Amino acid sequence: MALPEQIQELFQCSWPVLLLGFFIARLLINKYGGNLNSIPGPFFAGFTNIWRVLNTLLSNPTETQIQLHRKLNSNFVRIGPRVVSISDPKLIPTIYGIKSEFTKTSFYSIAELWYEGKCTPSLFECRDEAYHAQIRKPLVNAYSMTTMIDFEPAVNSTTELFMSKLDHFVVSGEPLKLEVWLHRYAFDVIGEILFSKKLGFLESGTDVESIMAGIRAFTQYLSVAGQIPIVDHFLLKNPLMLRYGPANPIVTFTLNRMKERAAWKASRGQTKRDFLERCLEAQAKYPEVVTDRMVMLYNFDNIAAGSDTTALTLTSLFYYLLKNPATLGKAVEELDCADKEGRLSEYVTWREARKLAYLQACIKEGIRNSDNCALCVGMHPPIGLILERHVPKGGIVLGGHYFPEGTIVGVNAWVTARNKEVYGEDCDCFRPERWLEASEEQLMAMERGNLAFGYGKRGCLGKSIALLEVSKLVPQLLRHYEFSFTRPELEWKLHGGWMVRQEGVEVALRKRT
């Protein structure tokens, strides 16, 4: 038998063994070949990212990462072959700061939209820092708190409608699903800010065009597929899906609202100084950057993320105030005192709310607090996964560990805000007083450790929107209503992932006299 025929026969008989050998070799390289084997973590996580997929799909990655850092007593935990979770707040400026050379990973590329035949990154998922700066510049002022304050009348009108809906529950005695109605409120505020129009969530008491469900499905997909981003090319971004699949419901929703806004302007010949109008002004000034496509993407980001972060923050704050009656009492006492002294308007303004020191401490602690497991009784940032970044060219030493370039590192806001050195031994507890008792140096450290809205040049531009709504709505509702759990013995349910969603915050309402 000729030698080539022998080789061919051997291969035909042995290809399963060769394939298995290649698979085993690949796993061993993953585990031991990346200079990360000295970093503790789950044994199987070092071999394959499938561990991360299963943890995100079947468990709560937020809870898992908190427990791992504590159990292993380490600021560094390996959660993938080339992925490390970091809990040291002092490293946040290095990884996410203005001058940082760390870049976003392909996790974020999954959120890129296929629209009109191509994918284009928006502010959120853009990985090219130069391009991000280019598309951020035209509208950075539109997100400032100075601009947001101009929208206070719009927030007030939405709050008025919301309170009329709450009055129905007062009269009827029906239990209120607080997390659901706060989400509807946040959506209608976003509608007013973007398009000068409430989107119908409060008025109808429904999920308009099923957009809430669409966003929830999208973030769940991002959470799971993002652990192995290449699978996105075989799922939502495979050629058949892109060509024949249904349109993205969030894109459709955004385009419909933009068309309604354009029709209103055409019929009345008037201009409203909402976010969309600011986009069009930026387009006139920067036509090569702010294309029609980019205008859609700006508004898409606000709809997809703006309502969620605000609603989750509001729900967390109310939940913990109700779980801590003494704290709630102090907050209400501060409000009543300000009311009696004539320091509050009919609808609390941003500037008035900023002067309510205890309320502001409650808001900071509400952003920082949650009850996601028996281990923890504090901390609820909206984002529940590490904010992934690639180690820059040449590698870097962090906390005494060398990380080769391309390694994925990141900080989970839930983990870093439970750092006892920064927040104290009672960091798992909801205690707003920590923000009032802290020294200036300690306060700076606590602020730096708060990743609820990101950090640095890639921080959440919608932070001002969320803080405006929270600072205005919370005191307004506490002035007029008494909230109580319908079943105080029950805890809420948290669903971990990119957005940590709450369920089961059911309350009864009474009017305050």
Residue 100, phi-psi category: left (phi > 0), alpha (psi -120 to 50), beta (remainder): beta
| pLDDT in the model for residue 114 | 84
| pLDDT in the model for residue 2 | 58
The span from the first CA to the last CA of the chain, in angstroms, equals: 100
Give pTM, 2 decimals.
0.91
| pLDDT in the model for residue 375 | 35
Establish how many alpha carbons lie within 13 A of residue 351's alpha carbon, considering only the half-sphere containing its beta carbon: 5
pLDDT digits (tens, 9 = 90+) for 255-303: 888 888 888 877 876 677 899 999 999 999 999 999 999 999 999 999 8
- What dihedral angle (degrees, nearest 10) is formed by the CA atoms of 217, 218, 221, 225? 180
Instruction: Take residue 33 and report the two structure tokens written for it.
Output: 């070949």
To the nearest whole percent, how much of the chain has pLDDT over 90? 64
Stretch 56-77: mean pLDDT:
93
Q: Worst-scoring range by mean pLDDT, 168-177, 185-194, 307-316, 331-340? A: 307-316
The CA-based angle 180-186-187, given to 5 degrees, is 90
| pLDDT in the model for residue 227 | 97
Residues 100 and 410 sit within 8 Å (Cβ to Cβ)? no
| pLDDT in the model for residue 472 | 97
pLDDT digits (tens, 9 = 90+) for 326-352: 999 999 999 999 999 999 999 999 999
- Is the pLDDT at 374 greater than 50? The verdict is no
Residues 413 and 339 sit within 8 Å (Cβ to Cβ)? no
> 40-511: which CATH topology?
Cytochrome p450 (1.10.630)
| pLDDT in the model for residue 380 | 62
- Is the pLDDT at 13 greater than 80? The verdict is no
pLDDT digits (tens, 9 = 90+) for 132-143: 999 999 998 898
How far apart (Å, rounded) are the C-alpha atoms in residues 49 and 106? 14
**In the structure, what pLDDT confidence band is assigned to residue 475 with cuts at 50, 70 and 90?**
very high
**In the structure, what pLDDT confidence band is assigned to residue 7 with cuts at 50, 70 and 90?**
low
SS (HEC) of 216-284 = HHHHHHHHHHCCCHHHHHCCCCCHHHHHHCCCCHHHHHHHHHHHHHHHHHHHHCCCCCCHHHHHHHHHH
Amino acid identity at 134: Q
- Is the pLDDT at 469 greater than 90? The verdict is yes
Q: For residue 410, give Cα distances in angstroms to 102, 366, 383.
A: 10, 23, 13
Beta-carbon contacts of 272 under 8 Å, excluding residues fewer than 6 positions away, are 196, 265
Q: Which of 472, 499, 479, 474 is nearest to 351 (CA)?
A: 472
- Is the pLDDT at 76 greater than 70? The verdict is yes
The residues spanned by each domain of the chain are: 40-511
| pLDDT in the model for residue 56 | 94
- What dihedral angle (degrees, nearest 10) is formed by the CA atoms of 358, 315, 125, 259? -110
More confidently predicted of 128 and 460: 128
Residues 151 and 468 sit within 8 Å (Cβ to Cβ)? yes
- Is the pLDDT at 371 greater than 70? The verdict is no
Beta-carbon contacts of 360 under 8 Å, excluding residues fewer than 6 positions away, are 353, 354, 435, 471
Q: Worst-scoring range by mean pLDDT, 115-129, 141-155, 199-213? A: 115-129
Which secondary structure element, helix H or strand E, spans residue 424, and what is its range? Answer: none
- Is the pLDDT at 378 greater than 50? The verdict is no
| pLDDT in the model for residue 248 | 83
| pLDDT in the model for residue 11 | 59
Stretch 20-47: mean pLDDT:
87
How far apart (Å, rounded) are the C-alpha atoms in residues 29 and 27? 5
How far apart (Å, rounded) are the C-alpha atoms in residues 211 and 209? 5
Q: Tell me the β-bridge partners of 383.
A: 499
Task: Find out whether 460 is annotated in a ligand binding site.
Answer: yes
- Is the pLDDT at 10 greater than 80? The verdict is no
Instruction: Name the average pLDDT for the chain.
Output: 90
More confidently predicted of 165 and 447: 165
Of 71-85, 240-254, 355-369, give the range with the top mean pLDDT. Answer: 71-85
- Is the pLDDT at 200 greater than 90? The verdict is yes
